[in-house]
Amino acid sequence: MTAPGIAPGSGADDPGRVPSAVAHGLIACDADAPGPGAEAPGAPPSRPPAHDVGAAIAVRLRRAAQRVDEHVAQLYPAGPAADAAEWLLPGTLHDHLAPGARAHLARRLHQALAAPVRHLVEAGGQRWRPGLVATVIDLLGGDSARYGPLLAAMEIAHTGSLMVDDIQDSSAVRRGVPAAHETFGIPTALNAGTNAYFALDRAIRMTVTHDAALSGRLREVYFAALRAAHAGQALDIQGHRAEMDHAVSTGDPGHVLDLVRLTHRLKSGALLAAGFEMAALLTGADDRRRCALAAFGSVVGTTYQITDDVADLRGVTRAGVVTKRVAEDARNGKVTMPLAHAVARLPQPQLKEVWQLVRGQAAREGDLTAVRRTLIGCGAAAACEQEADALLEEAWQDLEPELPHSPGTPVLYEMARHTVRRNRIA
């Protein structure tokens, strides 16, 4: 499915070479001349160690999460401010209200806009997205602490997307607690979730005040990713039932696999690609490095979603607490990567039976168990994991020669790999 990875140095010096993850459509790159920048990358770092470094990476991510949470509290405090200025435009009626009325308005807006988001933020989550972006900033010579509000805004936007996704998927549980719409109602959760996307605008004003061109470029990258993510969500809502029907009847999974991959790239890959690209912009990276980073971010987000489809079959727990119902996708009749991969791995009668159960949104636990066991037992789940590994490795081989010769470079790879294969709390 993927082309063989390019060995470090085999094509990195070709100024016309575009990283293969870009060429494969994982991420668009607008570099006019992707040739070498003023700062030539050093010799490729050594490959990450083969031994398990999961515990060390987990500690690193937890520390990053603590820093992110400090800035989340800055943008979305636990309690209302003295007024509601952070939610309103300057010069609105708010400016003419008496102090008591301002405080009352602040309480109302905090309850409607901040409380639903904090409900999920306080429930947990790994914060691995801003953690990875912070690692890129530091690796490229920047200071991630300086951009704390930007990193926090990425997590807030992600949380908002989960709130909207739970409504559209009718999911009752998220991170081991009732979904936001179960607690605050659908209208409030939907409005607060979409409002969370705009936290990044405030964060840019807080952190990048000296450079109007850079501020505009950051917004351009972010809003392009939001458009892509909404396109992915649109495909996800529509589903791929007609394509799956065709695959089941013909035994050819090609088209449905391509569509599910595209949905994952748009819905999950685009925003992480934007985060990596913004890290490149903040550190003054040249176009070649920026494109390679964006492509790698897209692949990490995409492969996380692929393995998340597998995790849905096996269940997601934290400290023994269910954070997401098992087989949520099958309950909702969704076509996932394991289901699409099963087309080439199951006899047609058995494939039809499984698809009929999923298509009918199987509700009985016995049916759900049968679907889960079949998709795992036929090797479809393993095929997803192998695909994710191959995509991640190929993207890393494209990116690695563009990064500094630094001990932090293999750390980035290990963090990405840990995220894709081990983390399972959205």
- Sketch the domain layout of the chain as residue ranges: 20-27+99-421
Which of 333, 282, 279, 339 is closest to 309 using CA atoms?
Answer: 339
> Spelled out in words, what is the top-level CATH class assigned to the domain 20-27+99-421?
mainly alpha
**Backbone torsions φ then ψ of 399, nearest 5 degrees:** -80, -40
279, 291 Cβ separation under 8 angstroms: no
What are the angstrom distances between the C-alpha of 189 and each of 71, 73, 109, 112, 236? 22, 19, 13, 8, 20
Q: What is the C-alpha to C-alpha distance for residues 219 and 214, in angstroms, rounded to an integer? A: 9
Mean pLDDT of 274-282: 98
Q: What is the percentage of the chain residues whose pLDDT exceeds 70?
A: 81
Average pLDDT over residues 64-93: 81
Mean pLDDT of the chain: 85
pLDDT given for residue 87 in this prediction: 76
pTM: 0.84
Site of tokens 């050594």: 46
Task: Look at 9-23, 46-60, 117-131, 379-393 and tell me which has the smallest mean pLDDT.
Answer: 9-23
pLDDT tier for residue 314 given thresholds of 50, 70 and 90: confident
pLDDT band per the 50, 70, 90 thresholds, residue 148 = very high
Mean pLDDT of 58-84: 86
- Overall average pLDDT of the 380-402 stretch: 97
Min mean pLDDT across 31-45, 56-70, 178-192 is at 31-45
Task: Give the pLDDT score at 89.
Answer: 67
**pLDDT tens-digit readout, 61-70:** 888 888 999 9
**For residues 18-49, b (16+ Cβ closer than 10 Å) or e, as one string?**
bbbbbebebbebebeebebeeeebeebbeebe
